[in-house]
Structure 1
Amino acid sequence: MITGDADADLRRLVADPTFPHQDAARHAMRFRASGDVTDLVAIQDDPQPCDVTDVVFALAGSKRPWLNWVPMPSEAISNVANEIGSRQAQGEQLKVTGLGLSAAEPASAMTACRRIAGPIEIGISEFPAPDIRNPVRQGRYAVWRYDGEEPVPAVPAPSAAAVKLLQEVGGEPWPSILSGYLQAAPLGELPLDDLLGLLAHLPEAPDSPRWQHLAKSTPTYWYRLVQPWACLGILHHAKDEPWSTSTRREVLVDLAFGIEDWVADAALFALVTAAYRDPAVREEVRQLVRARLDAAVAADRMVTIEESLAQLMLVTPGCSAEDRAIATAALARAEQDDGADEEEPEAEPAPPRKRRWWRGRS
């Protein structure tokens, strides 16, 4: 019986001589203690995989970023949106007509803010180098473009049927990165244009008790969560195509190295999911995640997705000692910036502390 206490459950499985996957449970315990992704991969590569090893894998990744939940938005504009949205959800008549940011933040974060707070004017003091509006690498696929300082979708809006399906499929976090892939299979039946449209034309949250509750605290989390779901849908697109020349690979790589945005780490998350499922793509994916993290680390300014990229690097199959050192250093800097550890509580990840100055104009 699984109790919800992952560590206690794993200790019980390891101690049970009748449990047929004790080695997998031991790997899970070691991963939770050390964070060495080699142990996590060993569970997935069990010589006798089954539903039980999938459960052990889920226990190993319980309450861990990307393995079980998407990191919370860390932008100042997201903190503002959460404050406005939560006060409105609790009945306060609050209206903000304008905000000012000291530096540009991701297009998705700005869009999520406007979904919550309304069509507010957002003033940006500067676009420090490297300019957030420029892709890390030029590619064929992109979902955002900029009209001066304003991010605008570069793709058509998705169909109403696609929005409805995403709300149904993505209404909850995934129990594990593996089960999330399976759960996203219906999204893979959507046209590619719909999947790309869902990434930029962020749909509203489902009218469910879960999201009604989160609207009172962290309404931006829905918008952060839906993009990885859409990218898992892209991972299912045209699955008969060989990986190396597939549309799904090209789209995800282009998005990962596009403009600095939530879409970038969402696309990398889907690629990491592919790496768990297919050992043949692991080294390529590891190199892609490291290259994107390197680009964030090299920027001589705050990169709001750097922390989530580092968290993703640590759970990427094949993560080397050097990869781990780079990621760990990035997380240490983020922790120092926050001034306190960020912990994931029982129900939802906690919003991080604000890390950039902003001002409001009413």
Structure 2
Amino acid sequence: MFSGDPDADLRGLAGDARFPHRDAARHAVRFRETGDIAALVAVLDDPHPCGTTEMLFAAACAQRPWLNWVPMPGEALCNVADEVGRRRVEGEEMTLTGLAVSAAEPPSATAACQRVAGPVDIAIDEFPSPDIRIPLRSGRYKAWRYDGIRPVPAVPAPSAEAVDKLHEVAGEPWPSPLSGYLQAEPLGKLPIADLLGLLAHLPPPPETRRWQHLARTTPTYWYRLLQPWVCLALLRHGDEGREALADLAFGAEDWVSDAALFALITTAYREPRRRAEVHDLVRARLDAAMAAPRVVTIEDSLAQLMLITPGCTPGERTLAAAVLTRAATPAPPEPEPPKRRWWQRRS
């Protein structure tokens, strides 16, 4: 049924009068062509849902951010760490003792940098307002806290079993959020404490061919990918898991924030009664990022999440598209040399 070209496959099925889920295929084509999330939701809301409609949903999700793959890290610290990792894999002996950034970056990006580059000292020029260390809302659950300017896990380390389960589950992207939810089931059997531990302590990648390859290009990507898998697993804990995800989404600004929202969006696909609530959470988190008078490194990711949230309105699509256009537009040249580069080696 599917050849590997999702657009051609879906158009063929939509035009096949003998195909029993022709309407669902048409909705999938419309989503691929317009990005209208209502069309994607209509695939799921087919009057006769089955394995075929789930395959149509996955085909519609193909090659789309968050629906099929997690956005790459964009932080300055990760860019440096990826360069260091690449050069070491190529055989260069490289020691990095210190970095300096003009403004604080998310705790997970900081941790990913240090996992790849080593125990590098990171100097931070400032914590511009709104302070990245301060949660947007108070809640019971959190992954990170700060010891002064240094982010540290707010939870104990995960068990060895939890790390093994993570490696078992999270080695590849998901074909769609629905299949990701199913694939995360073994992780979901772990206690919440273990799952929170995985979010903050960032275990190393599995020793698979895929991750050996990515070590040559973007070694920090594993640390970006693992967190949404863990958040999908939190959904298995019912009301408590959803509460934890909402707290994480509005906690200290981090990769965990958008990973948690992604899991909640997956709930909205699976449970129509939760769609309005999830939509409001995603919009509120995007609004907070847009209102910040400083760089929010996860803002474009939040905009991508808004675009795949059931209930996203035409106005919100325009808003999210504007965020992504701004993120893709090169900044104008500095009128004067900056006081300090985004990063530098320090002796």
Shorter-chain TM band: over 0.9
Q: Distance in 2 between matches of 1:28 and 1:264?
A: 28
Report 1:222-237 matches (<5 A): 222-237=222-237
| Equivalent residue, structure 2, for 1:326 | 319
Q: Distance in 1 between matches of 2:218 and 2:8?
A: 30
| Equivalent residue, structure 2, for 1:203 | 203
2:192/2:241 contact within 8 Å kept:
no
- The offset of 1:89, in angstroms, is 1.6
Q: Percent identity?
A: 65
Q: Secondary structure at the match of 1:236?
A: helix
* Amino acid in structure 1 at the alignment position of 2:310: P
* Amino acid in structure 2 at the alignment position of 1:282: R
Query: Structure 1 residues 338 and 5 mapped into 2: Cα distance closer, same or farther (>3 Å)?
Result: farther
Q: Distance in 2 between matches of 1:38 and 1:185?
A: 27
Q: Secondary structure at the match of 1:187?
A: helix
| Equivalent residue, structure 1, for 2:42 | 42
Q: Distance in 1 between matches of 2:30 and 2:132?
A: 39
The one of 284, 293, 296 aligned to 2:289? 296
After TM superposition, where is structure 1 displaced by more than 3 Å over at least 4 residues in a row?
none
Q: Distance in 2 between matches of 1:265 and 1:338?
A: 24
Q: Distance in 1 between matches of 2:315 and 2:279?
A: 12
Query: Structure 1 residues 287 and 120 mapped into 2: Cα distance closer, same or farther (>3 Å)?
Result: same
Q: Distance in 2 between matches of 1:360 and 1:33?
A: 46
Query: Structure 1 residues 164 and 90 mapped into 2: Cα distance closer, same or farther (>3 Å)?
Result: same
Matched, 1:336 2:329: yes
Report 1:98-117 matches (<5 A): 98-117=98-117
| Equivalent residue, structure 2, for 1:279 | 272
Q: Secondary structure at the match of 1:161?
A: helix
Matched, 1:358 2:343: yes
* Amino acid in structure 1 at the alignment position of 2:89: A
Q: Secondary structure at the match of 1:123?
A: strand
Q: Distance in 1 between matches of 2:247 and 2:299?
A: 18
Q: Secondary structure at the match of 1:83?
A: helix
| Equivalent residue, structure 2, for 1:345 | none
Kindly tell me the number of residue pairs found equivalent between the two proteins. 339
Gap runs ≥5 in structure 1: 240-245, 340-355
* Amino acid in structure 2 at the alignment position of 1:228: P
Render the CA deviation track for 1:139-188: whole Å, top value 9, x for unaligned.
11111000111000000000000001001100000000110001001111
Gap runs ≥5 in structure 2: 333-340
| Equivalent residue, structure 1, for 2:139 | 139
Q: Distance in 1 between matches of 2:187 and 2:229?
A: 8
- The offset of 1:338, in angstroms, is 6.9
* Amino acid in structure 1 at the alignment position of 2:294: R
Q: Distance in 1 between matches of 2:191 and 2:130?
A: 33
Q: Which TM-score applies when normalising by structure 1?
A: 0.92
- The offset of 1:325, in angstroms, is 2.2
Q: Secondary structure at the match of 2:130?
A: coil
* Amino acid in structure 2 at the alignment position of 1:143: A
Q: Secondary structure at the match of 1:361?
A: coil
| Equivalent residue, structure 1, for 2:68 | 68
* Amino acid in structure 2 at the alignment position of 1:298: A
Q: Distance in 1 between matches of 2:331 and 2:22?
A: 39
Query: Structure 1 residues 186 and 99 mapped into 2: Cα distance closer, same or farther (>3 Å)?
Result: same
Q: Distance in 2 between matches of 1:94 and 1:359?
A: 14
Query: Structure 1 residues 167 and 338 mapped into 2: Cα distance closer, same or farther (>3 Å)?
Result: farther
Q: Secondary structure at the match of 1:151?
A: strand
